[in-house]
Chains A and B, each alone.
Chain A
Amino acid sequence: MSKVLLELIDVQKTYGTGENEVHALRGASLQVKAGELVAIMGASGSGKSTLLTIAGGLEVPTTGDVRIIDNSLPTLKPAQLATLRRQTIGYVFQDFNLIPSLTVIENVALPLELDGVKVRKARKAALDALESMDIGELADRFPDEISGGQRQRVAIARSFVGPRQVLLADEPTGALDSKTSEAVIRALRKRIDAGIAGVLVTHDAKLAAWADRILVIRDGQIVEEISNTITPEQFGA
């Protein structure tokens, strides 16, 4: 049986106080096992992105617990949290968030270099990650010299380079055309199948079809869980 790598336990997130108080999450719970991809769907403002950022340790829940491989995120110190983000969590943003002043390979190698891995070794791992995304030839280009789809593939390569075990993707194909989107999600799925846990936030049912489970979130609560029996091919992939 696969190990649970990511677990959210009754997570609540509240912004503001008094009249301005907004409940972004109202007791969300979730488990993701190794080799499993969970898609989270919901309308705008439903709390899906908040759930992802809390899962990624970018935000702290108001109440509840977030556990990544036996680490309770709310109890970690900032430095420990940074180490976890560096070594365990890969995060893919909708708008790529590559560092414009670094080349593609430097961007991908960055988490490893930040972790103290020697430059040559980090670059080798980064190149492997890029090649697994079929963009090895772009290694020495700068982000503003490549297309949007290529940038997102670089971002995905960066998210799983090294010993990452949890991959979180926030609308990773939001800015891409359908053909590029498919290539990106296919690459993502490939990494999940290699044994890491993934969470995908999306509006797109066609994209969600690549997940093992689909959670529907509404007003900060997970209101429905669908075991995905539909194959991407049924969506025309």
Chain B
Amino acid sequence: MGRITQNAIALRIARRSVKRNRLQSALIIAIIALPMALAGFALTYRESTQPTGAEFVHYQLGLAQARYQVQVPPSKDLWQMPSDTNLSYANDGEQSSQGQILSMQEVLPRKDLLAISSGVTDFKTATGIGAITVVVGESWSSDFLGQGPVSLLKGHVPSSLDEVLVSSDALDRFGVKVGGKIHTVAGQSFKIVGVFSEASRRKLEDVVYLKTGALENFQTGPTETMYYQLGGVSPKWSEIQRLNKLGVLVVGRSVLLNPPPANQLNSQATLSSIGTLIGALFLAPLVLLPVIVLAGSAFAFGARRQTRTLAVLSSLGSSTKLLRKITLASGVWLGLMGGLIGLGLGATSAFLFGPSVADLNWGGRNWFNYPAFHLPAGMLVLALLCSVVLGAITSLVPAIRASKVNILATLRGSRSEGQVRARSGVGAIILFFSGVGAIIVSLLVLIRSAATGGDYQVKAALQIIGVMIGLAGAAVTVVSFIVGTGWILKAIRVIMARFGSTANFAGKDLLYNRKRYSPVIASVLTVTFVASFVASFFYGPTKFGYDNYAYQYLPGQAGLEFGVTPTDWDPSSPTPKAVSAENFWASVPKRELLESQRKLILATGAFDSATIIDSTVDVMNSGGVNNTDGTLARQFDVPAPTVIYNPAKTCYYTGLSPKSQEWIQAHVSGMSSSDMKLPAGCIGVDDPRRTIVVGDAKELKAILKETDKGALTTLEDGGVVLFNSVYDYSGKAKVSWLKPSDYSWIGHHLDKATKTVTLPSHVVSKITSNSFNYAAMVSRETAARLGLKAYPMSMVVNYAGEVPQAATDQLNGRNIYLSYSNGTGVLNPENFAWLIILLAALFSLASTGIALGLSQIEARTDKRTLSAIGAPRSFRARLVASQALALTMTGSLLGALTGLMLGAAMLNGMDSSMAQFPWVQLAALVFGVPAVAAIAFWLLTPRSLKYETRQALD
């Protein structure tokens, strides 16, 4: 039989079969298109965020030949790529800087360079005072204006030193129109003659553009000035490399438009490519595994659908090769369709939503992070090819099975799944233990890598090997579950038999038709595995970063702190005169002043509350300070109340820990970190606060932004509310009266305390920062009982949403500078984990829905038979829902288990302090997806089913 004829027949049957079974084909295509759509979006979006050389030239240079910027002191190790915006150092970690940063005149003594500098200057705004970005120089040069880098939106360019251009958002901030005047705080006035926009700046940025020399006393660092070469010849690559070594970054027209060959680029760039390759190797199994399993499941359905056709062909004398070809052709055809549709949808989504994603991603877009929509044609064709190859690969097993079709059994419609083979169970167990073993080996290799000292190459090599072994182990574990699906379904049947007749029937159906249902488990399993791993792997480090982020206030909170500044103390004096205690206490902040500031803050309308917080005074900091010659600068050496931290809770590296010296010694002697592990949950506080807030429910609520019942009860019961667990002594808090002269950072010299009281305490778990502005709090009643005297030392301000710039300017105008060190913008690990789980849940639900949908299409005849013999809808709905629940729950649990195992191994291996897991989110995924799937299939069960005899044609 001719190969061409065979291929033609195979393709014809495959194509027609796809067309004939539209719904089933659509679902199979959808399962392939789903990951392809994600790939299409990611590829296109990434390409669109990468400026081309021509875009670089257009937006950065206009008609200029080059731009020079001194960035760092000279070094022979400095290098750049043609489109880099920062210099890099060769020889990883070794920054062989030499001396000072050079001036541009020293580096490039040309006279035709146009200098444009940027900085910040205080201006009077519509509501008060604002620190506004200023750009000084001829930004509107004809080489830039209208050529790409800048545009004049309104008015004309400045012709004198007192004329300026502003960005459109700055107009609102100044509250003037074109033609109006603006004033610096220093007293200079400028007339706005036009509105300007700069391609490289983000939207919503307030900028004032001035002529050179217009701003008096304008000072800016040498790195803040860009030098543009407007004429002459664009620098060659060799010249750029020479300037790099002098600490100068160059954006050159000719090298951007005609990049130098790879052999002229720094080898570090090649290393960076290798790094990217390793990253890709790391990601590839995570992306490919679910795609292969999902596509393989889809093709398994497709191949089974064709079994009868193959049996007929076989009976007509077709060769086994042709049977294989038909299944392979179906795989290729479906892969092609899925790839085309998925990649098309992905690329279209990137076209439609790419700019918005860039906005979200970068908090305001400019040309640099989204220059234009770029279609990565080559990459998309490659992805399409991958889809087709994946189709072929994943249909290989079904194709081999198809070629061994039992003609008579198939034609007679008899279908026997046979016994679950012991061989598959043994194989699954061997694979499972091999996979888990590999994960354990990966953990050991990673631990070894972490313990390896200075040899970075060995360390990196071990890390890569560990990661790869771990990933391979996890993949083998996933495969072991897929191989052992028969046994898993057997176990499910045993469990379901205990839950009544419907569940019993459902369990038996699952086992008997296991080839129909096993792809559902496989699909859910792999998607959950990847999601669990990704969520775990990234949650730990994110949470560590979040927990260790040193915020002073909670998100949506700002504050004002006041110090004690005795009028007769001059700290700038070489021998500051001692301050009398009387004068010191007389200098604490006045409540009237705080009250007036509080009113001003609330008057802006931007804040929900402003609460004056009374607390004890930190005399250690403000009072009993020793001069460098050892004399006491302040004479009031009287005992002051101090909340005492628990040294046992501190990390060794903080200096507060009793073991800090041991830790330092250990590290000096080159001991590896694994030999002296930090105690789990140790607190890295290095600057414990000492003052105690005195207040009641109102102040507590203001500090915590919510009512904490436990804290309130403690307060009311005469206990101490602790804002950091480092002060906790197993449910107690210690307050000691110490003289400033007896105070010491380490240990507080408690033996010298004139008085110590121990009170019941409550730790506020909500606060995770070691730099939170408050340490402890007692009620006014308790303070009176203990003799604690409190003063209005600070104010806490709460707000919702964002504080408008106008309000900040208004307060700045009144000399009120709120501190916003509240961690806004720091990635919240919980939200991050929820986002991953939500995406995974959507993907998992989609693949579950499709795989279950396909299995239900196969089971249609059985359901019709059930309907024909009088099974009510409720029975059928329970049947389908319980099957959906059992299948998805099994897949989710096994997937999450594997993902967690891998995540735990990698995190523990790299850094045990990162090994934290998003249990709540994972539980939501593991139990939520099955619940939603079960409910959906319950609801989608049709009321009645028309009975049809088994289709002779199919």
Contact = CB atoms under 8 A, between A and B. Distances in A.
Contact of B2 (A91, A95, A116): A116
Interface string A114-137: 111001000000000000000000
B315 A91 contact: yes
Given A98-B953, A144-B953, A86 B318 contact: yes
Contact of A114 (B1, B952, B954): B1
Given A87-B317, A116-B1, A99 B309 contact: yes
Interface string A88-112: 0101010111111110001000110
Contacts of A143: 953
A214 B13 CA distance: 39
A212 interface: no
B408 interface: yes
A116 B317 contact: no
Contacts of A95: 411, 952
B408 A99 contact: no
B323 to A, nearest CB: 10
A113 B53 CA distance: 56
Nearest to A79: B319
Interface string B6-32: 101100110011011000000000000
B313 interface: yes
B412 to A, nearest CB: 9
A82 B318 CA distance: 6
B304 to A, nearest CB: 15
B953 A111 contact: no
A82 B319 contact: yes
A143 B316 CA distance: 17
Nearest to B954: A100
A93 B411 contact: yes
B457 interface: no
Contact of B309 (A78, A89, A101, A114): A101
A19 to B, nearest CB: 17
B1 A115 contact: yes
A89 B1 CA distance: 17
B408 A84 contact: no
Given A95-B952, A96-B952, A114-B322, A101 B20 contact: yes
B451 interface: no
**Most chain B CB neighbours (cut-off 10 Å) among A79, A84, A100, A119:** A100
B407 interface: yes
A91 B314 CA distance: 12
A83 B411 contact: no
A161 to B, nearest CB: 10
Contacts of A84: 317
Q: How large is the interface on B (under 10, 10 to 19, 20 to 34, 35 or more residues)?
A: 20 to 34
Interface string B916-954: 000000000000000000000000000000000000111
B318 A53 contact: no
A189 interface: no
A85 interface: yes
Interface string B311-338: 1111111111010000000000000000
A224 interface: no
Nearest to B17: A101
B407 A58 contact: yes
Interface in B194-229: none
Nearest to A86: B317
B408 A97 contact: no
A58 B407 CA distance: 7
Contacts of B952: 95-97, 175
Given A113-B5, A143-B953, A101 B16 contact: yes
Given A58-B407, A59-B408, A95-B952, A101 B315 contact: no
Given A101-B13, A143-B953, A114 B318 contact: yes
A102 B317 contact: no
Contact of A102 (B1, B13, B319): B13
Nearest to B311: A97
**Most chain B CB neighbours (cut-off 10 Å) among A84, A95, A96, A158:** A95
Contacts of B313: 99, 110, 114
A89 B314 CA distance: 13
A100 B411 contact: no
**Most chain A CB neighbours (cut-off 10 Å) among B309, B311, B322:** B309
A17 to B, nearest CB: 15
Nearest to A142: B20
Interface in A45-93: 53, 56, 58-59, 78-79, 82-87, 89, 91, 93
B12 A100 contact: no
A83 B6 CA distance: 14
Contacts of A175: 952
Contact of A98 (B312, B317, B320): B312
A114 B325 CA distance: 13
Nearest to B319: A82
Given A82-B318, A82-B319, A99 B407 contact: no
A99 B312 contact: yes
Contact of A97 (B1, B8, B13, B312): B312
A85 B316 contact: yes
Nearest to A170: B411
A158 B315 CA distance: 12
B12 A102 contact: yes
A110 B9 contact: yes
Contact of B317 (A59, A85, A93, A96): A85
**Most chain B CB neighbours (cut-off 10 Å) among A56, A79, A110, A111:** A110
B22 to A, nearest CB: 12
A93 to B, nearest CB: 6
A190 B408 CA distance: 28
Contact of B16 (A93, A96, A102): A102
Contacts of A106: 12
Contact of A110 (B19, B308, B316): B316
**Most chain A CB neighbours (cut-off 10 Å) among B1, B6, B314:** B1
A91 B311 CA distance: 13
A222 to B, nearest CB: 21
Interface string A134-164: 0000000001100000000000001000000
Contacts of A102: 12-13, 16
B316 A111 contact: yes
Contacts of B17: 101
A85 B5 CA distance: 18
A127 B1 CA distance: 21
A95 B952 CA distance: 6
A58 B312 contact: no
Contact of A82 (B16, B20, B317): B317
**Most chain B CB neighbours (cut-off 10 Å) among A85, A97, A111, A175:** A97
A113 B9 contact: yes
Interface string B377-415: 000000000000000000000000000000110010000
A98 to B, nearest CB: 7
Contacts of B314: 82
Given A98-B312, A101-B20, A78 B317 contact: no
Interface of A: 53, 56, 58-59, 78-79, 82-87, 89, 91, 93, 95-102, 106, 110-111, 113-116, 119, 143-144, 158, 175
6 contacts: A56-B315, A97-B308, A97-B315, A100-B20, A102-B13, A110-B9
| Smallest CB-CB A-B distances: 9 pairs | A86-B317, A85-B317, A101-B16, A95-B952, A100-B953, A97-B312, A116-B1, A101-B17, A116-B2
Given A106-B12, A114-B317, A116-B1, 7 more contacts: A82-B317, A101-B13, A111-B316, A114-B5, A114-B318, A116-B2, A158-B316
